[in-house]
Structure 1
Amino acid sequence: MSVFGSELYTAWSSGETSALATVVHTVGSASRPVGSCMLLTPGGRVVGSVSGGCVEGDVLERAREVILEGTCRQAVYGADDDVFGLGLTCGGTLEVFVEPVDVHRFPELAEVVESARAGIPVAVVTVLGHPRPQAVGTHVIVRADGHHSSSYPRIPEPEFIVDARNLMLSGASGVLTYDATGTRVFVHSLIPQPRMVLFGACDFAAALATIGRTLDYRVTVCDARPLFTTPDRFPDADEVVVARPDDYLAQEAAAGRIDQRTAVVSLSHDPKFDIPLLRTALGLDMAFVGALGSRATHERRVEALRDAGMPDAALARLSSPVGLDLGGRSPAETAVSIAAEIIMARYGGRGGALSHRAGPVHLPQLVRERR
């Protein structure tokens, strides 16, 4: 839910004014992605980050001015901005929008928080530029069903509602620009956490659950053995479920709780659970399917899946033995290796050491512009 959680809502509910700084656009190797936020509360606390430290001081000053004056500010920081040491050491460019937030200027916030807490996708569309200056900083709330709401009804560009919804459904945030009308908006997509479902109640699952939670996945550990599958063994898992792995995954998929962002990892080493689970998982549309084991185990696993009728195209989606080649052996080291491969699959990385290749550190951010 990003910064649209308890901190912002608590500050908003106080009736006083906060300042919210949001990264709305990046170019090159910016240190923080689009959608990163920093909040200055009425009590003077700072929550979050927009640059990892490079320009936070200047953004904080702008935030204080925003609270005092009640007006929005925009700033662009680049590697060549050497005045007062405000340049980005990462070499990229960062555009930050700073706005006052209170019950009068952002009355839609309660709706946003309620939707996000309920796991309902929602997008906050903030007007960055508009022919009418009073429209800058106003918000339109767009939901997945296409409905939208705004306290500023005179924004005349309904086409950006459709564009914002499409951007949200793709899981991305970004800027939409409409040159014909002089309108520029930022779409901040707030979607439910992606799921990481771990099958096999073992030390590797416990270590991976901890990392998965850090990576903002909603983590489930599932195993058919009740003696081993207890919440106290997996304190960082959001859910601990006693069930046959293949049955549980099929039920979750039928209920619509498995999607294209879901990562599934089998850690059981038990063919009677492993093979039915992987048959089910490889028949679903999800981001990642991995299985722990040696190369000999992998060969037996693939042979069993082929014998069960699994086509080669589906088997090609299986990451087995799962994990990047980092050389570690302990459960914690193995969990890092598996998490690294999940991240690589999610963002299209290449897995090599950054020091061994040329080019930008970060892959390009998704930015949509309509002209």
Structure 2
Amino acid sequence: MLDIAEELHRWVEQGRDFAVATVVATSGSAPRQPGAALAVDTDGTAIGSVSGGCVEGAVYELCQEALRTGETVLERFGYSDDDAFAVGLTCGGVIDILITPVRAGAVPPAPATPTASPASFGLAASLGSLAGAGAAGEADSDEAAPAVQPPSDAGHGASRTLIAAIAATAQGEPMALARVVRGPAGLLGRALLVRPGGERTGTLGGHPELDRVATEETAALLDAGRTGTVEIGTGSGTGGGAGFGAQGGGPAGGGSAETDTATGTGAETDRGAETDTATGTDTATGTDTATGTDTDAETDTATETDTDTERTGSRCGDPVVLLVESSVPAPRMIVFGAIDFASALVRVGRFLNYHVTVCDARPVFATKARFPDADEIVVDWPHRYLEAQEAAGLLDTRTVLCVLTHDAKFDVPLLERALRLPVAYVGAMGSRRTHLDRLERLRSIGLTEIELNRLRSPIGLDLGARTPEETALSIAAEIVANRRGGTGVPLTGAHTPIHHDVTSTVDRIGSVA
């Protein structure tokens, strides 16, 4: 959703209500990654995209429906085992999409914080009663809805948090937005916002301990500048959420009807993929024997939480899965060496949305006239500048270092430091002969083979590049392949995935009851 925050911020300032559809999980060759969004306002204006065109029409209608009902829903689009071409996504793959109505024009003040003691009931019991309440609420919803239904109090809370996240992103403030995308129906779409240092806005509404753990995990993704999913388990017995991977790399739907039933909610439906499974989910949610629909069952669950949950997991069987979207400053690309190849690389780096710095010890070359596209030009010895940036905490795991100086007196002291930093990429220009000489110099000053193996040299992929622009493209291609887990081989005739995910393991957290 944050990819269209600037446009949404204008809508909020104009008081325009809207519904936003966000990709929360993908599998196969889904064209957009988790966090991609499409929004529709009450006038029917649409911005953004969730599928590159495959299912935009259906999602547009779902957004309009959400504006009418005021309900948050989770939908799935894609293939099924029994239907080769399910509704939409003819390009292949499965996507799960969360549709949330947002009231920009009339958001009431925040309700008072509940005063219930966290020690009075466990998280598992809390989630169980929420699941039961969700099922009961569905059973009692026979009355006709008005043409445009305002969101519930929970919806107002989510609207406030989403609006705060939109404003922060539009203003360039670092923060992360966490939303419940799977779990008890009463929590679906709930949101909280986390800023650096752990400051929190909003609540997931289930239990204070759920907010605490969610805040910690969201802050961890914010520190890494990552967007991904996190599963907060209510015990070792839960099998849900297995369909979600960090950064959206896992399959969207899990491997079986049982898994989807355990993790699904009454609000979730299935567009073309595993239709029977979706129907089963509603049936399972309606019975709700484990969580307890009546008061006595809920009391028993709460009483047994401290003993049974630790041994067998949550009685309700529903972990909570969060989509966490991080909004952080652009990743850094630092280009050492103010040469013609650097000028082309600066342009490509800006195109890839890096904040690009050019550093060179020679003031005659490091000038704005030579590098008009650079965000920053620094005249300093490369290794000294890198040390200063590290000391100031201005380097992170997304930082890219490109050493184009091609001169041992600059390269060696710089690489000695660079290869020991937790940055994303370190590449150095030079011939193979230069590379071998450089390795020997680095070994002689104490670098290990593990550290040397991090060096991408000669820099770039083999594209047969000759010109500065072609060389810059070669370097950029290697940076992207390194970031996304690509192989660099032609896709024609290959049997490798088109879209890679370098961190596809689900982040699981143990019982917090």
TM-score (ref. length: structure 2): 0.65
Q: How does 1:1-371 map to 2 (within 5 A)?
A: 2-3=2-3, 5-41=5-41, 44-80=44-80, 86-103=87-104, 104=107, 105=156, 106-109=159-162, 111-113=164-166, 116=169, 121-129=174-182, 131=184, 133=186, 135-150=187-202, 153=205, 155=207, 157-158=210-211, 159-170=213-224, 171-176=226-231, 178=233, 180=314, 182=318, 183-364=320-501, 365-368=504-507
Greater helix percent: which structure? 2
| Bigger Cα displacement from structure 2, 109-118 vs 211-220 | 109-118
Going from structure 1 to structure 2, the CA distance change for 1:286 and 1:86 (only over 3 Å counts) comes to same
* Distance in 2 (alpha carbons) for counterparts of 1:345 and 1:166: 22
Residues 67, 100 of structure 1: 8 Å contact kept = yes
Higher strand share: 1
Q: How many residues align?
A: 370
Shift of 1:311: 3.5
* Shift in Å, 1:250: 0.9
Pair 1:356–1:213, CA change in 2 (3 A): same
Specify whether residues 337 and 149 from structure 1 end up closer, same or farther in structure 2 by C-alpha distance, changes over 3 A only: same
SS in 1 for 2:160: coil
Q: TM-score, normalised by structure 1?
A: 0.87
Higher mean alpha-carbon deviation, 84-93 vs 25-34, is at 84-93
Q: Which amino acid aligns with 2:66?
A: V
Please list the CA deviations of residues 31-70 of structure 1 after superposition, one character each: whole Å capped at 9, or x if unmatched.
2111222233566553332112211122122223333443
Q: How many angstroms apart in 2 are the aligned matches of 1:331 and 1:102?
A: 50
Q: Which secondary structure does the structure 1 equivalent of 2:3 belong to?
A: coil
Which deviates the most, 192-201 or 348-357?
A: 348-357
Contact 2:180 2:204 in 1 (8 A): no
Q: Which amino acid aligns with 1:274?
A: D
CA contact (8 A) 1:24 1:175 kept: no
**Contact 1:291-1:319 within 8 A present in 2 as well:** yes
Q: Work out the CA distance in 2 between the residues paired with 1:357 and 1:32.
A: 22
How far has the Cα of 1:18 moved from its partner? 2.3
Contact 1:127 1:139 in 2 (8 A): yes
What CA distance in whole angstroms lies between the structure 2 residues aligned with 1:328 and 1:349? 19
Offset from partner CA, 1:197-240 (integer Å, 9 cap, x none): 11112232222222222322222112223333233433432222
**CA shift at 1:144, angstroms?**
4.4
Further displaced range: 193-202 or 210-219: 210-219
Distance of aligned partners of 1:30 and 1:17 in 2 relative to their CA distance in 1, 3 Å threshold:
same
Q: CA deviation at 1:120?
A: 6.0
| Superposed displacement of residue 166, structure 1 | 3.7
In structure 2, relative to structure 1, the CA distance for the partners of 1:243 and 1:116 (3 Å cut) is farther
Q: Conserved in 2, the CA contact under 8 Å of 1:23 and 1:50? A: yes
Cα RMSD after superposing both structures = 3.0
- Contact 1:18–1:40 (8 Å) recurs in 2: yes
Q: 1:303/1:127 Cα in 2 relative to 1: closer, same or farther (>3 Å)?
A: closer
Structure 1 residue 22 displacement after superposition: 0.9
Q: 2: CA distance between counterparts of 1:309 and 1:85?
A: 58
Answer whether contact 1:76 1:94 (CA < 8 A) is retained. Answer: yes
Distance 1:108 1:356 in 2: 47
**2:165 corresponds to which letter in structure 1?**
V
Query: How many percent of aligned residue pairs carry the same amino acid?
Result: 42
Partner of 2:115: none
Partner letter of residue 107 of structure 1? Answer: R
Q: Answer whether contact 2:190 2:205 (CA < 8 A) is retained.
A: no
> Which 5+ residue runs of structure 1 have no aligned equivalent?
none
Deviation for aligned residue 1:25: 0.8
Mark the CA change 1:43 to 1:6 in structure 2 (over 3 Å): closer, same or farther.
Answer: farther
C-alpha distance in 2 between matches for 1:366 and 1:168? 18
From the superposition, tell whether residues 251 and 197 of structure 1 become closer, same or farther in structure 2 (CA, over 3 Å): same
Gaps in structure 2 of 5+ consecutive residues: 108-155, 239-313
| 1:336-370 superposed Cα distances (whole Å, 9 cap, x missing partner) | 11111112222332221223432432234454455
Aligned residues of 1:32 and 1:52 also touching (Cα < 8 A): yes
Q: What does the per-residue CA deviation read over 1:320-350, in whole Å, with 9 as the maximum and x for residues that have no partner?
A: 1101111121111111111111122223322
Bigger radius of gyration: 2
After superposition, the Cα gap between the structure-2 partners of 1:172 and 1:131, relative to the gap in structure 1 and judged at 3 Å, is: closer
Give the Cα–Cα distance (whole angstroms) in 1 for the partners of residues 9 and 369 of structure 2. Answer: 31
Counterpart contact for 1:116–1:192, Cα < 8 Å: no
Higher relative CO (CA 8 A, sep ≥ 6), structure 1 or 2? 2
Q: Which moved more, 1:30-39 or 1:62-71?
A: 62-71
Deviation at 1:8, TM superposition (A): 1.9
